[in-house]
Amino acid sequence: MYDAIIIGGGPAGLNAAMILGRARRKVVVFDHGQPRNRWAVAMNGFLTSDGMSPQEFIGKGRAELEKYGVELQDKVISTATYSKGSFVVNDADGNVYRSRKLLLATGLKDILPQLEGLEELYGKSVHHCPYCDGWESKDMAIAVYGKGRKGIGQALAMKNWSEQVTLYTDGTRELRRQDMELLHRNGVAVCTTAIKKLVGEAGRLQRIVLENGQEHEQQALFFSTSTQQQCDLGEQLGCEFTSKGVIKTGRLQNSSIPGLYVAGDADRDVQLVIVAAAEGAKAGVAINMELQKEDRK
Ligand SMILES: Cc1cc2nc3c(=O)[nH]c(=O)nc-3n(C[C@H](O)[C@H](O)[C@H](O)COP(=O)(O)OP(=O)(O)OC[C@H]3O[C@@H](n4cnc5c(N)ncnc54)[C@H](O)[C@@H]3O)c2cc1C
């Protein structure tokens, strides 16, 4: 029986493992190596590690856990249940593991716009988060992608980073007059024509080709679409979700299920590596305190 099983070895799961390992807890981390930012060339905005590659960050984190005896298993966990005060999880090969506490640090995945040419540029000059990649795109010709009214907020926000911002609604012509006026007043150009494809070289966006044959030179694109949980373990365990599709947690990352904690992008809304790591640390402390209380004679 483990003191704690951690599912997800991104920044949230690894930081929780560090706190619990240092507290001499018997911990295992299961991870199948698909952190949300694996497309990105750099991880920005993390003090002391600004600009480091996501792979290097995870590699360093895993190496730092070695001396604390944390077990790392490169496996997918397919099922998780809670019964009579303990958790039972199964990997995809049918192996069974038990623990007193469980942490879900399984993250989110992004629903990418269905645009030809996007995947080769994603994480290099096509992004979704201005706090992660806005600085690197400053003063560039920036396209913002969002169907219907979805991209309006993002387009206005991007004015922080560049004067040249164009909103592409990709064939949606239903922007309201007030929206058009707001965008115009704030110096955002609008293109409602459907997009045919994105063209770039070596990861750098060069132009957007429209269905009507026109071509617009652009250097970066930020999109505004939606996200999904990376796996359905939260649902399997009966967690409560918010209307934004993330798991509801309390002040110390506790979920509505006793002994089950959730940290990182899978819960809450500021989705940055440093926040995920901090939530992991909070969950680690809370799990250890709960175990201490239960074991006190
Ligand atoms: C393109 C891109 C660029 C980004 N750039 C930045 C940036 O510059 N700076 C920044 O602060 N943030 C950035 N982010 C956001 C950042 O990636 C997330 O905030 C962060 O990764 C969240 O950490 P996490 O530990 O919650 O989840 P993740 O990092 O997504 O890790 C979750 C882990 O859980 C594993 N997992 C999921 N389900 C299972 C399962 N059932 N069994 C086993 N393992 C499982 C996954 O394989 C994954 O390794 C970026 C995001 C994207 C998409």
**pLDDT, tens digit (0-9, with 9 covering 90-100), for 191-209:** 999 999 999 999 999 999 9
- The pTM of the full predicted model, rounded to 2 decimals, is 0.95
Beta bridge partner(s), residue 166: 143, 189
Mean pLDDT within 48-66: 97
Check for a shared fold between 2-110+226-295 and 118-223: yes
Q: Is 9 in the pocket of ligand 1 (CB under 6 A)?
A: yes
Chain centre distance of CA 232:
15
> What does pLDDT average to over the chain?
96
pLDDT at 269: 79
Q: CA-to-CA distance for 57 and 23, rounded, in angstroms?
A: 23
Q: Could you identify the residue written with the tokens 């998780």?
A: 80
pLDDT at 189: 97
| Percent of the chain residues topping a pLDDT of 90 | 94
- Token representation of residue 29: 């981390």
- Token representation of residue 182: 């707001």
pLDDT category of residue 161 using cuts at 50, 70 and 90: very high
Amino acid in the structure at residue 200: G
Q: Is 265 in the pocket of ligand 1 (CB under 6 A)?
A: yes
Q: How many CB atoms lie within 10 A of CB 297?
A: 2
pLDDT at 84: 81
pLDDT at 83: 85
Domain covering 2-110+226-295: architecture: 3-Layer(bba) Sandwich (3.50)
Q: CB of 132 within 8 A of CB of 44?
A: yes
Mean pLDDT within 162-170: 97
Contacts of the segment 182-188: beta carbons below 8 A, 24+ positions apart? 182/152, 182/156, 183/152, 183/155, 183/156, 186/156, 186/159, 187/159, 187/163, 188/144, 188/155, 188/156, 188/159
Mean pLDDT within 44-67: 97
Q: CA-to-CA distance for 144 and 147, rounded, in angstroms?
A: 10
Q: Which atom of ligand 1 is nearest to the CA of 123?
A: 1
pLDDT category of residue 172 using cuts at 50, 70 and 90: confident
Q: Is 262 in the pocket of ligand 1 (CB under 6 A)?
A: no
User: With respect to CATH, is domain 118-223 assigned 3.40.190.10?
Assistant: no
pLDDT at 226: 86
- The DSSP code for 36 is G
Q: CB of 151 within 8 A of CB of 168?
A: yes
- Token representation of residue 255: 């979920």
Dihedral (CA of 32, 109, 249, 234) sign: negative
Q: CB of 283 within 8 A of CB of 268?
A: no
Q: CA-to-CA distance for 198 and 112, rounded, in angstroms?
A: 13
For 91-149, the pLDDT digits (tens) are: 999 999 999 999 999 999 999 999 999 999 999 999 999 999 999 999 999 999 999 89
Helix (H) or strand (E) holding 200: strand 195-201
Mean pLDDT within 148-170: 96
Question: How far does the centroid of ligand 1 lie from the alpha carbon of residue 72, in Å?
Answer: 17
| Percent of the chain residues topping a pLDDT of 70 | 100
Q: In this model, does residue 177 exceed pLDDT 80?
A: yes
Q: Is 32 in the pocket of ligand 1 (CB under 6 A)?
A: yes
Q: In this model, does residue 174 exceed pLDDT 90?
A: no
Question: How far does the centroid of ligand 1 lie from the alpha carbon of residue 30, in Å?
Answer: 14
Q: In this model, does residue 159 exceed pLDDT 80?
A: yes
Domain limits, the chain: 2-110+226-295, 118-223
Strands of 137-184, DSSP E: 142-145, 165-168
Which ranges constitute the DSSP H helices of 54-100? Answer: 54-65
pLDDT at 85: 85
For 6-37, the pLDDT digits (tens) are: 999 999 999 999 999 999 999 999 999 999 99
- Token representation of residue 222: 């930020």
